[in-house]
Chains A and B, each alone.
Chain A
Amino acid sequence: MGILRYIAVRTALIIPTVLILYTLVFIVLRILPGDPVLAVLGTKNIPPEQLEQIRHNLGLDKPYIVQYFEYLWNVLHGDFGTSMIISGRSITVDLLERLPATIELAVAGMLVSLLIGVSTGFFAAVKRDTKLDTGLRVFGSVTYTLFIPWLGLMFQLVFAVWLGWLPASGRIDPDIGLVTVTGFYVLDALITGNVVALRSALSHMILPALTLGLVLSGPYTRLVRSNLIKALESNYVFAYRARGVRERRILLHAFRNALIPVVTYAGLQFALLLGGAVLTESTFDWPGIGTYLVEKVSYRDYPAIQAVVIVFAFFVGVISLVVDLIYALLDPRIRY
């Protein structure tokens, strides 16, 4: 049976995880004390009949169990309902509009963090127990505790306001006529051959990606460092040396082996990446799902918040699945 069976079982296992999170979100947002309708409307004096009407429109007057399955059914069909603030506005449409921005930022942030983390980890391991190593290790542990909005705002101050090198916020200059095809601006600019738009999109991306990437890079530094050190002490490296293989080739070989756990870790870190993206987006007014969430939070727009949480849960589930599958493909020992 082997690999196919593994893929099937592992894919099926994603269902309980997402379902548990869905249930938790449902309990938290609908059953726990705290009336969403009142939270939105504030303590204004609204006649009870009108409150009832609003609840009825939102389906909040039905029994919980009915609400639970109705909402689940809708979510499974990609329907997250409508916003409570702007009536009739489809949340699914809103999310789909903003999703590319978030993915673009997350991918850029992840690339930056890998670039910084892997290179610092590499040098720390090669220059083991030197001042450089100590410095890089401190760097690795301090970056994690940088508060994202602070780092982002300081970057804005230095590189946008004082030096004027880069734009402070946003995703692209608004007056550039970029024809959107996929919603991924960098990709769109490439497809349409719009060099000005590409420049603008990339220059807007540098500071947010650097902020997110720097904060998430620390764990990679450590991981690569300790793995590379372990690899350099292993028997096969010893054997290579005995055979007179050149140091550079040995290093390359050990380095490749040290990178394997990084794949798993990148997957595990995905939840952190999403959380970080929320803060990065709101710091740079990046029009993604994170900014959407923060915006909806300030209005207490329950259905929208609920939708974002479920979408994130789904992402986390899918990514962990993908990571496991990649791993199973790489390592033939992993089977059910």
Chain B
Amino acid sequence: MAEALGKTLAGLLSRISIPRISARGKALVYTGLAIVLAVVFMAIAAPLLTPYDPTRRAGPGYQPPSWEHPFGTNNLGHDMWSRTVYGARTILIVVGLAIAISMAIGVPLGLVSGYYGGKLDRALSMVMDSIYAFPSLVLAITLAVVLGPSLFNAAIAIAVVYVPTYFRMVRGQVLSIKEELFIEVARALGIPTREIIFKHILPHLLPTIMVVFSLSAADAVLTEAALSYMGLSVQPPTPDWGYDLYKGKGFVLSGYWWLIFFPGLMITLLATGFALIGEGLGEQFRRE
């Protein structure tokens, strides 16, 4: 099973044309990658980077940043540095899960819908377009409310929002690729449709999928943060940037800036990282 999967993946990868990216594009991709990888590193190495348990009192409350607590402490005396580092885990898990789900649904649906066309295609497109046109944050909020606040449910709520993004992109590309000569040849040779779709069309989509992946990941980071800002994601005391920022909101007037600055900065940084990757990769498409 694993071997077969590996072979399929290797087969797919060998078919991707290596994108030609401009110098500016490269700079963007590398900057973005550096940010995202730094956050991933934080998440993985969290226990090594933090001296305190993020959910336990580590000192007096409301301490401004110091050597002892580089990001200060919150009202409960939690060490904000530890909460920030561990918070990377939460957001990466939710976003990763969400994007995986929406890709797993959106990409195959787009392939089939675009390739076969017909009534099913029209119906699917209409539904997807309607969802796409709707304010994604409000949709995610609604779903998260219905499903109940938890890490997994937040991921599902976010996933639903991005299915149309993948569907529309894949469908659009399939529509143009399926008219090309090599697909006609494949059909004439009697290659099974499934093989045409997954082995001959899908590989051409991978570069675009990579761009959309990065951009939707950037967006999903902001959506997760928004859900958790409203208490609709992971429940406290689990560290989560959006929730910590929400808690910090109560201390604006007291001027406790560190409770606001750090969690929000991390959210923005991570989103920016993904966006830069997507934009850098996207350069290539605009040049051609």
Contact A147-B264, Cβ < 8 Å, known A29-B146, A272-B135: yes
When the two chains form their complex, are residues B146 and A157 in contact, meaning their CB atoms are under 8 A apart? Answer: no
Write the nearest CB–CB distance from A39 to chain B, whole angstroms: 7
Contact mask for chain B residues 251-274; partner A; CB cutoff 8 A; 1 contact, 0 none: 011010100110111011001101
Contact A274-B252, Cβ < 8 Å, known A20-B130, A24-B131, A34-B148: no
Q: Which of A2-10, A84-92, A137-145 contacts B (4 or more CB under 8 A)?
A: A137-145
A294 CA to B145 CA, complexed, in Å: 10
Q: Among residues 160 to 194 in chain B, which have CB atoms less than 8 Å away from a CB atom of chain A?
A: none
Q: Does B107 contact A (CB under 8 A)?
A: no
Write the nearest CB–CB distance from A23 to chain B, whole angstroms: 9
- Cross-interface CB contact of B137 among A145, A275, A300, cutoff 8 Å: A275
When the two chains form their complex, are residues B260 and A154 in contact, meaning their CB atoms are under 8 A apart? Answer: yes
When the two chains form their complex, are residues B146 and A275 in contact, meaning their CB atoms are under 8 A apart? Answer: no
When the two chains form their complex, are residues B138 and A312 in contact, meaning their CB atoms are under 8 A apart? Answer: yes
Q: Does A236 contact B (CB under 8 A)?
A: no
Write the nearest CB–CB distance from A157 to chain B, whole angstroms: 5
When the two chains form their complex, are residues A146 and B138 in contact, meaning their CB atoms are under 8 A apart? Answer: no
Contact A150-B267, Cβ < 8 Å, known A16-B126, A34-B146, A309-B142: yes
21 residue pairs of the A-B complex, CB under 8 angstroms, read A17-B133, A20-B127, A24-B131, A34-B147, A142-B272, A144-B275, A147-B222, A147-B245, A149-B246, A150-B260, A153-B264, A154-B261, A157-B260, A272-B135, A274-B138, A275-B135, A278-B137, A297-B141, A308-B138, A312-B138, A313-B134
Interface size class of A (residues with CB under 8 A): 35 or more
When the two chains form their complex, are residues B136 and A28 in contact, meaning their CB atoms are under 8 A apart? Answer: no
B residues contacting the other copy or chain, number (CB 8 A): 48
Q: Does A168 contact B (CB under 8 A)?
A: yes
Q: Which of B57-65, B82-90, B198-206, B229-237 contacts A (4 or more CB under 8 A)?
A: B229-237
- Cross-interface CB contact of A161 among B137, B226, B255, cutoff 8 Å: B255
Contacts of B274 in A (CB 8 A): 145
When the two chains form their complex, are residues A146 and B142 in contact, meaning their CB atoms are under 8 A apart? Answer: no
Contacts of A309 in B (CB 8 A): 138-139, 142
Contacts of B275 in A (CB 8 A): 141-142, 144-145
A189 CA to B252 CA, complexed, in Å: 29
When the two chains form their complex, are residues B222 and A283 in contact, meaning their CB atoms are under 8 A apart? Answer: no
- Cross-interface CB contact of B145 among A17, A278, A305, cutoff 8 Å: A305
Write the nearest CB–CB distance from A266 to chain B, whole angstroms: 15
